[in-house]
Amino acid sequence: MKSVPQVIHCEVVGATSVRLKFSDGFAATLDLQPALRRRVFAALKHPEKFREATVQDGTLVWPGGADICPSVLRYWCELGRVCPKKELDAHFSAATSTEVVSMVAESPVKYGRQR
């Protein structure tokens, strides 16, 4: 399975925006304001709390337990925006299905009846 590049650096560049750098060298600026509508991120609507963003183990985290995993951040960065949960779920469902099909297609094991 393809590994997801980890977040290696985060710089807060606005009230709700971050500049992220990933382990593969990809970098992007992302406005996280749409994601802050969820209850888990409620405290981050205050700029002083949002500025407490750090990177731990490749993940963007804030004190109090809020975090965003690197695969989601990377997808949003590539899109250039935070997308709705339904779109995000569809993307990851399709990616998982494609990876499974790819893994089966590359498998040296022959399926079916052997003589």
CA distance 9 to 87: 26
Say if residue 72's pLDDT is above 80: yes
What domains does the chain contain, in order, with CATH numbers? 7-106 (3.30.2020.10)
Mean pLDDT of 57-65: 94
Angle between helices 70-79 and 85-106 (to 10 degrees): 110
State yes or no: pLDDT of 113 exceeds 60: no
pLDDT (average), residues 45-52: 94
pLDDT at 110: 36
Q: How far apart are CA 7 and CA 21, in angstroms?
A: 6
| DSSP structural state of residue 83 | P
CB-facing half-sphere around the CA of 78: CA atoms within 13 A: 12
